[in-house]
Amino acid sequence: AQKVTQAQTEISVVEKEDVTLDCVYETRDTTYYLFWYKQPPSGELVFLIRRNSFDEQNEISGRYSWNFQKSTSSFNFTITASQVVDSAVYFCALSTGGNNRKLIWGLGTSLAVNP
Amino acid sequence: DAGVIQSPRHEVTEMGQEVTLRCKPISGHNSLFWYRQTMMRGLELLIYFNNNVPIDDSGMPEDRFSAKMPNASFSTLKIQPSEPRDSAVYFCASSYIGPYNEQFFGPGTRLTVL
């Protein structure tokens, strides 16, 4: 069975703190894709990043970084020097690609960055 | 390029009425997804289409819900008759069938059934 677990339901930090959002996945497939989405208070779902199972290289985009570790089946997301605008619900998702287009979603982590 | 377009953005209706939600996917995308989001159940996939053909509708709650995709640029989700428990935000998303399948979401339709 495929599953995505985001154990942190809510996180609250003070601006400029670093924060890591955890994502643990389960799949028996050798080819799969992992995603992070952001849902700000305005409600839209914004695609942040996609990672495939053959590429364990970490990714950095500005203040955002992602740590993919197959050994622990984790795909964690770190925001460095958090800002109030980072306040949102963040979702991790899994897909095995191919003909199956479905994403398996985590329940999301609500991040509040306080001034 | 325009993103996924959904209409209406907000819909308030009375129980028993028919509701039709509309979606225009990103041009060139050939997969389309309908989701429902509530506080209680989170984000749920209702149905998805590949090349205008429904592939998986196992998430459709019951016969009151139906979805169509008559062409590559338009899809509808219909609820008839609507019930208060259908109140939710409904998202449409599209993606391109290829090695990767990140989905791009529309702004959502907030449905309130009184």
Q: pLDDT tens digits, residue range B29-60?
A: 999 999 999 988 889 999 999 999 999 899 99
Asked if the C-beta of A96 comes within 8 angstroms of chain B's C-beta atoms, the answer is: no
User: What pLDDT is attached to residue A10?
Assistant: 97
B102–A35: do the CB atoms touch at under 8 Å? yes
Residue in this structure with the two tokens 């019930």, named with its chain if needed? B83
**Averaged over A46-74, what is the pLDDT?**
91
Amino acid at B105: F
**Averaged over A53-59, what is the pLDDT?**
86
User: What pLDDT is attached to residue B2?
Assistant: 83
Confidence of residue A102 (pLDDT cuts 50, 70, 90): confident
Compute the radius of gyration of chain A from its Cα atoms.
Answer: 14
| Residues of chain A above pLDDT 90, percent | 76
User: What pLDDT is attached to residue B99?
Assistant: 63
- What are the tokens at B11? 């819909």
Confidence of residue B93 (pLDDT cuts 50, 70, 90): very high
User: What pLDDT is attached to residue A97?
Assistant: 64
The rounded Cα A76 to chain-centroid distance in angstroms is 6
Asked if the C-beta of A60 comes within 8 angstroms of chain B's C-beta atoms, the answer is: no
User: Rounded to whole angstroms, how far apart are CA atoms A66 and B80?
Assistant: 43
Residues of B in contact with A75 (CB under 8 A): none
B91–A91: do the CB atoms touch at under 8 Å? no
| Residues of chain B above pLDDT 90, percent | 82
β strands within chain B, DSSP E: 5-7, 10-13, 19-24, 31-38, 42-50, 53-56, 65-71, 74-79, 88-95, 104-105, 109-113
Burial class (CB in 10 A: 0-12, 13-18, 19+), B22: middle
The average confidence (pLDDT) of chain A is 93
**Averaged over A74-103, what is the pLDDT?**
90
A44–B107: do the CB atoms touch at under 8 Å? yes
Strands B19-24, B31-38: pairing is: unpaired
**Averaged over A30-39, what is the pLDDT?**
93
Residue in this structure with the two tokens 């308030």, named with its chain if needed? B12
B48–A35: do the CB atoms touch at under 8 Å? no
Q: Count of alpha carbons within 13 Å of A34, Cβ hemisphere only?
A: 31
Per-position DSSP letters for A53-76, written without gaps between them: TT----EEETTEEEEEEGGGTEEE
How far separated are the first and last CA of chain A, in Å rounded? 41
What residues does B22 pair with on adjacent strands?
Answer: B7, B76
User: Rounded to whole angstroms, how far apart are CA atoms B13 and A109?
Assistant: 31
